[in-house]
Amino acid sequence: MMSSSTCCLLTLLLLIISSASAIATAPFSYISPLRIVSGSLKQQQQKHEVNLHTFFFNQTLDHFSFRPQNYTTFKQKFVINFKH
């Protein structure tokens, strides 16, 4: 008789082989070509950019330290959608 661990391993192996063969034979006709997807994404992005406004403010680079040499700043960017 087989031990329970051997039986479990054989069952797992059978599941892996059957799922791998099912994936290998699956038709991939439902995946859209990349150029169609990217074109529709560009159109959606252009629609949303109309309501977006970009702003900047001076942000301290290291805001966890109080040493004077750490008060270097950079332009922090933020975007506001005025439609919502």
Task: Quick: pLDDT tens for 70-83.
Answer: 788 889 999 998 88
Distances (CA, A) of 27 to 16, 17, 21, 47, 58: 19, 18, 12, 34, 53
The pLDDT, as a whole number, for residue 71 is: 80
Q: What's the rounded mean pLDDT across residues 3-32?
A: 75
Reduced to 3 states (helix: H, G, I; strand: E, B; else coil), residue 41 is helix
69 pLDDT band, cuts 50/70/90, is: confident
User: In the chain, where are the structural domains located?
Assistant: 49-84
Task: Quick: pLDDT tens for 22-53.
Answer: 665 656 555 556 655 566 666 666 665 678 89
Is pLDDT at 54 greater than 90 in this prediction? yes
